[in-house]
Amino acid sequence: MSDSTYHRVSLAVSATALVLLLYAFYQVFFIVPTEAKMGIVQRIFYIHMPSAVVSFNLFFVVCIASIGYLKTRRLSWDRAAVSAAEVGTIFCAAVLITGPLWGKAVWGIWWTFDPRLTTTLVLFLIFVGYLMLRLYQPEPHRRARLSAVVGIIGFVNVPIVYLANRFRGQHPAPVLGGGEGSGLAPEMVVALLWSLAALHALGLLLFMQRYRLERMRTEVNELYRALRA
């Protein structure tokens, strides 16, 4: 896509993201009723759960982009993969930060090995590993190829991690956000949907910016090579 089209799209995405974020914020803090059992802290749910969804979707993008690269060998797929991975890791970190804060306030414990939080932690570690692997591979195609393999395996692993932790029955753990689904008031559902939309828009914005960065990097490397030729 040409530079000017890109600028217009990126501006549109930024504006949409901003509007959605403001509206979601308004929903979460002014419209939604306070949850009966947990009090105001429960509102963390509206950034905690959507962040998890966004990061999972982004890692799905990593998997698809990885397959795309391996099949076509076009570096644009690789650029998409690394962008999705980096942004996904950021959202993952957000889940891991908001989760314990919520947990500490409600149950008095920072960490619980509830399947969702644990899976998020493992996902985080997998993709930090992915990013580190890329750091140590200077050659673009080799880097793309190896991280594609890691990206595919990493993503496929995630549901299995979740299942493995689900089957552990010994330590009854408070399920973060799991119980909410059963008792969500309609206003909460609405706020949740707006929050999901807002965070996905934010994720898209960050993805596009990261992709642009990666494209510039490729250009710089090509120019260096042309200079040396």
Residues that bind another protein (CB under 8 A): 38-41, 43-44, 47-48, 51, 70, 87, 90, 93-94, 97-98, 101-102, 104-106, 122, 125-126, 128-129, 132-133, 136-137, 145-146, 148-150, 152-154, 156-157, 160-161, 163-165, 167-168, 202, 205-206, 209-210, 212-213, 216-217, 219-220, 223-224, 226-227
Quick one: 57 or 165, whose CB is closer to another protein?
Answer: 165
Q: Write the DSSP string, 114-137.
A: -HHHHHHHHHHHHHHHHHHHHHT-
Quick one: 8 or 34, whose CB is closer to another protein?
Answer: 34
Tokens 């710089």 map to which residue?
220
**How many residues would you count in the chain?**
229
Closest distance of CB 44 from another protein, Å: 4
Quick one: 1 or 132, whose CB is closer to another protein?
Answer: 132
Closest distance of CB 23 from another protein, Å: 16
Quick one: 61 or 210, whose CB is closer to another protein?
Answer: 210
Closest distance of CB 190 from another protein, Å: 19
- Using an 8 Å Cβ cutoff, are 62 and 84 in contact? yes
Quick one: 190 or 213, whose CB is closer to another protein?
Answer: 213
How would you write 1-12 as a 3-class SS string? Answer: CCHHHHHHHHHH
| Token representation of residue 182 | 């059963």
- The count of C-alpha atoms lying within 13 angstroms of the C-alpha of 25, restricted to the half-sphere facing its C-beta, is 6
DSSP class of 35: B
Residue type, 160: I
Closest distance of CB 225 from another protein, Å: 10
Closest distance of CB 200 from another protein, Å: 13
Reference 88, options 215, 217, 200, 216; nearest CA is 200
Residues 6 or more apart from 14 whose CB is under 8 A from it? Answer: 205
